[in-house]
Chains A and B, each alone.
Chain A
Amino acid sequence: MMQKRIFLFTLLISISLWSQDQEKVYNDTLEQLNCMLKDSCQLSFKKAVMSVENAYYNNVLDTVGFNFEIKRLTSFTKSMVKHIKLKYQGKDSLKVKKYAALFSVVTDTIPIVDKNGVMYEYIPYVYDFEDIWGLKNWDSMFVSKLLETGKGNCHSMPYLYKILAEEIGTDAHLSIAPNHIYIKHRNEIDGWYNTELTSGIFPNDAWLMASGYIHLDAITNKMYMEALSDKQSIAMCIIDLAQGYNKVFPDNDGEFVMKACQVALQYYPHYINGRILQAETKKKVFEKEVKKDFDVFTKEVYEDDFLRLQFLEIQHEYVSIHESGYRRMPEEMYMDWLNSLKEERKKYENKKITNPDKSN
C-alpha cells in the first residue's frame, strides 16, 4: 500500500516536473529566437524552425535526424544547381538556377542514376489534403513531419524551401496570403515573382488579387503578399511557437503567449496571425477575469473601470484588424481557392517563369 502511494506520488511529481520542463523549453526557445532578432545570435531559419518543433515535442525531436535529412537535401539541391539548364538569360542566372533547383527538389519527381547505372526516382513532397491547418494534429504543420512522411502543407513546404535556400546560400522570401504561405523571388528580368509549392506552379499576383478572396486594403497595407525579410520570418516562427504552446497547455494563463506576441510584433508589427493571436489571448484573459469576478458578462462588468478599458482595448484591436482588410476565410473557401489555381492554370500562370526548359 505504502509502496503504491509512493509510486503514485513520484508519478505525479514527475508529471508536474515534465510540464515544468516543457514550460522551460518554451521559454528558452523564445529567448533563443529573440536573440536572433536582436542580432545577438546568428540568424538561422533552420535552427528557428527546428527549435519551435522541438519545443512542441518537449525536447525529444530527433534533431540529428532532422539535420541529417536537411544536409542530404542540401547536397542534392547543390548538385541539381550544377545540372539544371535554363532558358533564362539574365546576368543573375546562377541565382535563378538555384531557385529552379530548390523548386525541383521540393516539387518534382527527379530521375537519378547512380554510379552503377541504376535508375532511381526521387519522389518529391506532396500536398496533404488531410487536416490542412493542423486542427487535429498540430504537428502536421511541421517540417519534421514533412521530412518524415513526405507529405506537407502550405506551412511546412515553404518553410522547408526557405531552410534549403538558406543552406545553399541563397535568398527566398516567405510571403503570406489568407491562411497560406508561398515563396517570392526576385530576378533581374521579371522582377518579383511567386512560387506556389502546394501545386507546383508560378502564379501571377492576379491569382491572389483577382480571386476575390483578398480585400484590396489587405494587400495595400502589406498584410498579405509582402516579400518578408529574414527577421519577419523569425517573427512568424515565434507566433508558431506560441500557437504550439497553446496546444500543449490549453489552459495556460496567456502570459507566455502575450510575451511571444509582443516580441514577434515588435519586428513584424503588421503580421496578421500575430495580431489575431494577441487579440484572442487578450480576450481569453479578459473572459477568465470576468468569469472569476462576475461569473457571467453583465452590465456590471462595464462598471468596473479596469475591465471596461480592457474590453474597449480588445474591441479596438478587432476593429483595427478588420479595417486593415482582414476577413476570415473558411476552410472550404480556402480549398476552392487553392484548386482554382489548378483549374484555371492558364489564367493565373506566370508564363515568363514557367518555361525553364529543364534538362531532366
Chain B
Amino acid sequence: MFVKLKTNVKLNKIVSILLLGVFPLLNAQVLPDLMPKTPNASQFTNYSKNNFGSPTISPLNTTNQNVRNQLLIAEVERNQQEQQMREKQAQALINDALHSFPETYSLPSYGNEEGANYYRKAFEKLRNMSSADFSVKKAIFAIENAFYEETENYDEFENTIKQTGDFLREKMNELGYDSKSNLAKNFLLFQFFSDTLKIKSKNLKHLPLTYDFEDYMGKDDWSKMFVKKLLETGKGQCNSLPQLYLILAEEIGAEANLALSPNHSYIKFQDDEKWKWYNVELTNGMLTTDAFILQSGYVKAEALQNKVYMHPLSKQQLQSHLYMNLALGYIGKYGYDEFVNEIISKALELNPSNVQAYLIKSNYTTIKVKYALDRLGIGKENFDEIKQHPRAIQLYKNMIAQYNMVDKLGHQEMPPDEYQRWLASVKEESNKQQNIQLKTKLNTIIPVKQ
C-alpha cells in the first residue's frame, strides 16, 4: 500500500501530506520510544517532531539483564500493537484521501460556460461599491446586465431614470409639494406607481405600473424579475417594482427602505419627523398596515425578533439582498457551484440574518452533500459508510447547520398559492378602507411649498 502510494506522490497535495505523516510512523519501529503517545488522527503530522526526540528513559539503560529482556520484549510487543493500530488508521486516512480528490467535495464549476464570467465581473463591480453608500441604480443595472452578458447600454438606462426623475420633479412642482420633504417625495413616488399622473403644461402622462401574474417568480424566465422588463412593459412583480422605487427614490433624493415579508418585498418610508412608518404595497399600488402583512400567517415572532421581516433594510442590508439577487440570477442561468457560495458568503457577511441567503446556502450545501455522496457511492442503503469519510461528515454537518440557521431566524415556507391568496387579500374591503384612510391622511399632511 505504502509503496504504491510512493510512486503516486505527484497525485495531489493531500496524499503527500499524508506520506509525511506516515513515514515517521514507520520509523517508530526502529527507534523505540518508551512513552509512545496514543496515535491520534488529527495529530499525525506531528509525529516527526515527537518521535525523534531524545528517548531519555530507555530499557537499555537498566542494568539487570532479565529485567532488560523482559522490558524489551514487552516493548517490542507493544510497539507491534501500536504499529498495527497506526497502520490501520493510516489505511483509513489514505483510503479517504484516495477518494477525496478535491472534486468530490466541491461542485464542478460553471465558470467556463458561455457568459458565466459576466457574473464574476458583476460580483467584482458590487464588491467595489461601498456598502454604506452605493448607487442602487448602478448595482441593479450591473446585476441585470450580467444576465444579459453585458449587452445592455448603461447610458440608455440612466437616461430613462433621469427622464422619469425629471417628470417627478416637474410634477412635484406642479402639485406645489415642498421639494425638501421626504414625505412629499415618497407620496409622489407612490402615486407615480399607483395612479395615472399627468403634467398638463407639457401634455405628459404616466400610467400606473401593474402587477404581472405570469411567471411572477421568474421560474421559466428569470428576466421577468428585472427592472429592465418592468420599464419596457410597465408590468412587474414584487422584486422589480420595489427595486425601481428605490432607484427613483435615489434619483429624486427621497429616503425609502426595502422591507421583506414571506416570499415578498415592499417599501417602507418615514414622515419628516421620523415618527411614523408607511408601508407601500407596490404590487397593488396601495398603502398597507402592518396587520395586513401579519395576516399572511407566515410571519413568525422569531423572524420579527431577528429583524428578518417587516424591518426597514439599511443600505448595507440592501446590498446583502442584492448580492442574494445576483446569486439567484446565476443559479437560474447556470446552477449551483462554488461561486454561488462566494456570493452568498459576501451577502451573509453584510447581513448575518439574511434568511434568503441562508436558504440558498442550505440548497447549495445540500447539493454539495448529494454530489459528494454520489461520488463516494453512498446511498440510503449504505449511509453508514459516511463514517469512513470525515470530510463528507463535515459537509453533512454543515448542511444541517444551515437548515438550523434558517429555522432559528424564524423562516417558514409559504406555499405559492397561499402567497397569491394573501396578496389578493389586499383588495379586501378592510384593506381598501385602510388604503383610502392613509392616502387621505397623507394628502392633508403633505408639506407644500411656502
Query: Which of A's residues lie within 8 Å of B, judged by CB?
Result: 186, 191-192, 204-206, 208-210, 212, 216, 219-220, 222, 224-227, 347
Contacts and interface: CB of A to CB of B under 8 A. Distances in A.
Contacts of B165: none
Contacts of B295: 206, 210
Given A210-B294, A216-B290, 5 more contacts: A191-B412, A205-B299, A206-B297, A210-B295, A219-B304
A89 to B, nearest CB: 15
B305 A192 contact: no
Contacts of B410: 191-192
Contacts of A210: 291, 294-295, 297
Contacts of B291: 210, 212
A341 to B, nearest CB: 14
Nearest to B311: A220
B412 A219 contact: no
Contacts of A204: 297
Given A191-B412, A210-B295, A220 B300 contact: no
Contact of B300 (A205, A222, A347): A205
Q: Counting chain B CB atoms within 10 Å of each CB, which of A186, A205, A212, A226 scores highest?
A: A205
Contacts of A216: 290, 294, 304, 310
B302 interface: yes
Interface in B289-323: 290-291, 294-297, 299-302, 304-305, 307, 310-311
B407 A220 contact: no
A219 B301 contact: yes
Given A186-B407, A191-B410, A212-B291, A220 B297 contact: no
Contacts of A226: 301, 305
Contacts of A208: 301
26 contacts: A186-B407, A191-B300, A191-B302, A191-B410, A191-B411, A192-B300, A205-B300, A205-B301, A206-B294, A206-B297, A206-B299, A209-B299, A209-B304, A210-B291, A210-B295, A210-B297, A212-B291, A216-B304, A216-B310, A219-B304, A219-B305, A220-B311, A224-B301, A225-B301, A226-B305, A227-B302
Given A191-B410, A210-B291, A220 B305 contact: yes
Given A191-B412, A220-B307, A209 B407 contact: no
A156 to B, nearest CB: 24
**Interface residues of A, dominant DSSP:** mixed
Contacts of A191: 300, 302, 407, 410-412
Interface string B304-347: 11010011000000000000000000000000000000000000
A102 B72 CA distance: 64
B412 A222 contact: no
Among B300, B301, B307, residue most surrounded by chain A Cβ atoms (within 10 Å): B301
A4 B412 CA distance: 75
A191 B307 CA distance: 17
Contacts of B296: 206
A192 B302 contact: yes
A46 to B, nearest CB: 27
Contact of B294 (A192, A209, A347): A209
Nearest to B293: A210
Contacts of B300: 191-192, 205
Contacts of A227: 302
A168 B180 CA distance: 64
Nearest to B403: A188
B421 to A, nearest CB: 13
Contacts of A222: 305
A209 B301 contact: yes
A210 B310 CA distance: 13
Contacts of B302: 191-192, 227
A204 B410 CA distance: 13
A186 B404 CA distance: 11
Interface string B75-110: 000000000000000000000000000000000000
Nearest to A193: B300
B103 to A, nearest CB: 30
Nearest to A190: B412
A91 to B, nearest CB: 10
A324 to B, nearest CB: 13
